[in-house]
Amino acid sequence: MSKLMFERPTITRLNPGVPSKHGVGTVVAPLPFIDGVKVDDLLDKYGSPLYVFSERTIRKGMEDIKRAFNLRYQKVQMAWSYKTNYLDSICRIFHQEGSWAEVVSGFEYDKAIGNGVKGENIIFNGPGKSINDLEKAVRNGSFIHIDHIDELFMLSDVCQRKNIEARVAVRVNMDIGIYPKWDRFGLNYENGEAWDAINRIMMNPKLKLMGLHTHIGTYIMSVDAYRVAATKLADLTYNIAQKFDHHISYIDMGGGFASKNTLRGAYLSGEDTTPSFDEYAEAITSAIINSQIKPDKLPTLILETGRALIDNAGYIAGSVLANKHLSDGHRATIVDVGVNLLFTSFWYDHKIHPVSIHSGLVEETTIFGPLCMNIDVIRPSLMFPALKRGDRFVITRTGAYNNTQWLQFITTRPNVVLIDQNREVHVIRRAETLENISANEVIPEYLG
């Protein structure tokens, strides 16, 4: 006779304090499959921990956002935000779905070219473009989004010296009634800096003003903030047409749409509070359509949505390394996923699911990563079932920023796999080795 599944014995004190206003207990559902593939099989084959991406979820997200915007506005162009996730396979899925590339460095620019994106379909943002970056982008016909006046002069100088013509847009920052005000990128709307830059560009024969761009912040929960921003860019568009009889090709509303992750310290779950693509689309498109811009001159609307499109498609699967009690009796579980792999645990209360079914009873637990560093906390406190050493779990909505801001710290980074639409699993980034990490080190002869 086979033996019964074992769960470590637990006792949990019941605290008769303020009841949950929602009146329901904590339910931690197991997650044994990702896109129909057994998590246990994935971990057995590719090791623990493991990054997993769902191609189906990525394509579904693109379908949803395109539907929401195309329903309301006739010319919409997506541009994949490379810094959110620049694993080449991930980028290529977005490009197959029709996205251009939105890059913020020469490194990302070269990655986009390597992924087969035409230069004229690359948007080059960011405050740190080098002269060489600028010249390359101009020659390729990419859209250069000017971040500051120094860059405008630098670009003008490059174009004069090389006798080339640049397609440019102005990144505009503005007060949209929310905190924090993102004024470190771009040129300001209210103090006239943006208008000044626009005038200089319009009078420079080497610079062709193609568009206006703003990026109002990150994880923006207020759709009205987008309405205000789109209204201000539409006003600038109208003013350019009035003064120069020049009709720009596009308005780029940047990114910043929230994913369904829950921000640390938020009272309500992101699943309940995050606006839908339809709500964002309604705010942005109605502001542009209702502006003074003539209907036949309406510019293309570009969106650089990153987080909201890739967060939901990413998972990290891992294993429990140990359980312990802290000095006050609080339960702690140590897992093999640390902040080196899950940078976003500094921002989010990530959901963690056991892979196998459990008794349903949960206890207050702190989840620590495996790094020998005090900051390595995945969840300071959550209600979690009594997992034991070797038990497996899945952390959800990890697709944004964790494969770009990850740290090669203390240990190497694990395999990344993609589950395609036919449930085939592909390694899209091999686990690092010590040799990979040491390859660029040079030891002076006297230390040899």
Note the residues at the interface with another protein (CB under 8 A).
2-14, 16, 323, 325, 329, 359, 361, 386, 388-389
Cβ burial 62-99 (10 Å sphere, 16+ → b, else e): beebbebbeebbeebbbbbbbbbbbbebbbbbbbebeb
Q: Which is nearer to another protein, 10 or 132 (CB)?
A: 10
Q: Which is nearer to another protein, 112 or 386 (CB)?
A: 386
Q: Which is nearer to another protein, 15 or 163 (CB)?
A: 15
CB 186 within 8 A of CB 178: no
Q: Residue 326 to residues 96, 332, 366: CA-CA distances in angstroms?
A: 50, 7, 9
Q: Which is nearer to another protein, 4 or 18 (CB)?
A: 4
Q: Least distance to another protein from the beta carbon of 430, Å?
A: 33
Q: Which is nearer to another protein, 20 or 440 (CB)?
A: 20
Q: Which is nearer to another protein, 156 or 366 (CB)?
A: 366
Q: Least distance to another protein from the beta carbon of 417, Å?
A: 29
Q: Least distance to another protein from the beta carbon of 349, Å?
A: 24
Q: Which two tokens stand for residue 22?
A: 């929602």
d(CA 344, CA 347): 5
d(CA 18, CA 339): 33
Q: Least distance to another protein from the beta carbon of 345, Å?
A: 26
Closest CA to 411 of 441, 432, 425, 438: 432
Q: What one-letter code names the amino acid at 399?
A: G
Name the H helices within 103-175: 106-114, 131-139, 149-162
Q: Least distance to another protein from the beta carbon of 41, Å?
A: 19
Q: Which is nearer to another protein, 361 or 427 (CB)?
A: 361
Residues in the chain: 448
CB 167 within 8 A of CB 118: no
Q: Any residues with CB less than 8 A from the CB of 364 and at least 6 apart, and which?
A: 12, 330, 331, 381, 382, 383, 384
Q: Least distance to another protein from the beta carbon of 34, Å?
A: 25
CB 364 within 8 A of CB 331: yes
Q: Which is nearer to another protein, 212 or 386 (CB)?
A: 386
What DSSP string describes 195-212? HHHHHHHHT-TTEEEEEE
Q: Least distance to another protein from the beta carbon of 13, Å?
A: 5
Q: Which is nearer to another protein, 14 or 443 (CB)?
A: 14
Q: Least distance to another protein from the beta carbon of 363, Å?
A: 9
Closest CA to 280 of 307, 304, 257: 257
d(CA 191, CA 195): 9
Q: Least distance to another protein from the beta carbon of 419, Å?
A: 29
Q: Residue 85 to residues 20, 82, 126, 214, 259: CA-CA distances in angstroms?
A: 37, 6, 16, 21, 14
d(CA 99, CA 79): 5
Q: Least distance to another protein from the beta carbon of 358, Å?
A: 8
Q: Least distance to another protein from the beta carbon of 6, Å?
A: 4
Closest CA to 43 of 394, 338, 384, 407: 394
Q: Which is nearer to another protein, 1 or 439 (CB)?
A: 1
Q: Which is nearer to another protein, 149 or 326 (CB)?
A: 326
Residue with tokens 């002069």: 153
Q: Which is nearer to another protein, 95 or 392 (CB)?
A: 392
Q: Check residue 78 and report its DSSP letter.
A: E
Q: Least distance to another protein from the beta carbon of 386, Å?
A: 6
